[in-house]
Amino acid sequence: MNKRIAKRAAVILLTLTVLVSVFSANALACTGIYAGGGTTENGSVYLGRSEDFGPDWVKQFVIVPAADHAPDEMLEDDYGFRAPYPAHTLRYSAVMDDPSEYSGLTKIPFPEAGINEKGVAVSATVSTCFNEKVQAVDPLTSGGLTELSMASYILQSADSAKDAVQLLADCIDRYGHGNSEPDDPDYREVSTVLIADREETWVFEIVSGHQYVATRLSDDTVSVLPNDIMTQQVNVKDENVIASPGLISTAKDGGFYVTDIEGDDEIHVAKSYSQGYSQYSSYRLYYGASILNRELAEGIDVVPKPVAEISDQFPNASVEEAAVGPFCLEYAPSDAIRGRISLMTLRQVLASHGEGTAYETTARNENSDGVPMRSIGSYSQNEEHIFEIRRDPSIPASVSMIEWLAMAPSEFSVYVPFYASVMTETPDGYTSESTQTFDSESIYWLFNELGNAGNGSYYRMDDNGAYYDRNGDAVDAETAQAVLQFLSDSELIHDLHDDMNRAQEALNAKAAADDEGMAALAKSASDEEVTARANQLANENAEYIKRIASEKLTEIDNAVSAYIEESGLEQAANHHPGEAVLPIVLLCVLLVLVCSFIGYRAMKRKKAKRV
């Protein structure tokens, strides 16, 4: 059990106010996306990702200030990574976990997305796994770099996307990719990172303890990145590829080298290093393609098969079942959508349940027959970000990048624009320290509750089958089940979708109008004036969506209260079940002691598995 999960479990048992989801903890996944400037309606490049750690886990949006460092000052984290700071670190934005959930050693924990003052954007990471043959010859390292600090390590120093790629490559060469579960000898989780500036976008896949391959993405393609290694056949000497020196030799020495093209510099990275495309990833690849290139999607064999049946295609697969695809790192969009892709298109991708396809899923990541199918849109999304990079020379470089940020599930949220590279502060609504209880002033918590309502989790349920509301008050089981059915049958959730779409369109219109003024200001005003305006717009937009979310949540709450009263059901009781009887209290104390022991051991190992 990793520290982050152990912490959550201990808090649930001790306080009975942080409550588990009714869904399986296995349904965690992140999905990366990319659309080149030649595929979009305005010529912008888009890249981003959904972070899927699960509901009720607060994300903060902050600006990390530039700083000077002493020669012996070190960047350190809870996973054991330790590297010298450069003499000067850059200012950057970070969508991160609350630092109070960590030991204090990790200053910026899991900065999943950010732009630095030089205009370098990083989305980190989509977690992947290498296969068992790779594990035998190039396992994860002790004290190597992991997702916990990866984006910070890049953003604090990188002057360009190419520089960022080289920084990460040098770091993996020197320290390797760390093992965030050192007590698990079979742990094989590595990282895929998207890195961009105004000139180019790279996808950097770490595929073992010390091996990696980075690919410069084409301006005329799109990409969907699930939790699997996606680089296919490459020539490591290609000008658009940066690979570790031992990428091919390690595969050959370990007996897992595969190539579809003969040549000393050729390797099929996925067939060599990947564990295989399980349903956890294959359906998400299909859902993305069904929106971006329907014809391509129709040619994908997406249903996983026993690996013994596909060993000729994936001889190194180490999952039980895998799909054969074919899958690819990047592909051209269909003619029907080429030149029409926008922020709204990619918002749709990150919210997709496979609507209109043969593999449509429910909020529980399964089809109508209960067969597991991991969708992109999910109850477990706790933030999504999309970077918009404008190459129009009439837009000054300082304001050419916009960081669009949504909290909680994409389908029930609104992406807010930020000129993050010039900002020095973020709105108060993004810095809530209420990590365990609902905070009505927190943008994360407001959208988290809308997502819970939309995904059938208006009430939480603990491991004993007891229900609670968002404030931790007990709810009668009959009442809870009736309310969940009421919400499922009502138009409230359908209206929630529509209202969030309208709010997004309204904010997009405001952002377009604001952008004209911002571009003009950046051409003539001082840096301080540009920063002040960027901070002001951030506050305006945050207040707008906070009001929208609060009003919608109040509407749902009022409808639920009216339904309970009309139905004669029992209202929530202002107490916690742990207060009821002594035996339950004693049981909770025992469970807390057990979880505290597990949490103490896990604290020395890692903060969390991130996917």
Give the total number of structural domains in the chain. Answer: 1
Q: Is 10 inside any structural domain? A: no
The domain containing residue 530 runs over which residues?
A: 17-562
Q: Which segments within 280-400 are labelled E, that is strand?
A: 305-306, 321-322, 383-389
Residue 520 CA from chain centroid, whole number: 34
pLDDT of residue 435: 78
Q: Is 603 inside any structural domain? A: no
Which pair of structure tokens corresponds to residue 267?
Answer: 């390797």
Measured CA distances, 25 to 17, 321, 380, 419, 456 (Å): 18, 20, 9, 35, 16
Contacts of 371 (CB under 8 A, 6+ apart): none
Instruction: Indicate the pTM of the whole model.
Output: 0.91
Nearest-angstrom CA–CA distance, 84 and 239: 31
Q: Is 524 inside any structural domain? A: yes
Nearest-angstrom CA–CA distance, 267 and 541: 47
According to the 3-state scheme, what is the secondary structure of 12-31?
HHHHCCCCCCCCCCCCCCCE
Contacts of 124 (CB under 8 A, 6+ apart): 111, 112, 113, 147, 150, 151, 154, 191, 193, 194
Nearest-angstrom CA–CA distance, 4 and 194: 25
What three-state secondary structure class fits 133?
A: helix
Nearest-angstrom CA–CA distance, 235 and 248: 10
Report the candidate in 132, 143, 137, 171 with the shortest Cα–Cα distance to residue 319.
132
Q: Is 611 inside any structural domain? A: no
pLDDT of residue 433: 80
Q: Where are the alpha helices (DSSP H) in 266-361?
A: 269-273, 279-292, 294-298, 343-350
Residue 37 CA from chain centroid, whole number: 23
Residue 396 has what DSSP assignment?
A: -
Contacts of 228 (CB under 8 A, 6+ apart): 128, 129, 270, 274, 275, 276, 277, 278, 281
Residues 418 and 442 sit within 8 Å (Cβ to Cβ) = no
Q: Is 240 inside any structural domain? A: yes
Residue 573 has what DSSP assignment?
A: B
Residues 112 and 407 sit within 8 Å (Cβ to Cβ) = no
Report the candidate in 124, 259, 134, 316 with the shortest Cα–Cα distance to residue 208.
134
Nearest-angstrom CA–CA distance, 304 and 572: 44
Q: Is 578 inside any structural domain? A: no
- The string of DSSP codes covering 462-512 is -TTS-EE-TTS-EE-HHHHHHHHHHHHHSSHHHHHHHHHHHHHHHHHHHHH
- Return the CA Rg of the chain: 24
pLDDT of residue 94: 98
- Domain harbouring 252, CATH code: 3.60.60.10
- Burial of residue 284 (number of CB atoms within 10 Å: 0-12, 13-18, 19+): buried
pLDDT of residue 362: 83
Report the candidate in 121, 99, 89 with the shortest Cα–Cα distance to residue 198.
121
Q: Is 584 inside any structural domain? A: no
Q: Is 609 inside any structural domain? A: no
Bridge partners for 306 per DSSP = 321
What three-state secondary structure class fits 60?
A: strand
- 10-residue mean pLDDT profile of the chain (611 residues): values are 39 30 44 98 98 92 98 95 98 94 90 97 96 97 96 98 98 96 89 98 98 98 97 98 98 98 98 96 96 97 94 93 96 98 98 94 83 91 97 96 97 97 97 86 97 93 92 94 94 94 98 97 98 98 98 97 94 56 46 48 40 49
pLDDT of residue 2: 46
Cβ count near 245 (within 10 Å): 12
Which pair of structure tokens corresponds to residue 466?
Answer: 């007891």
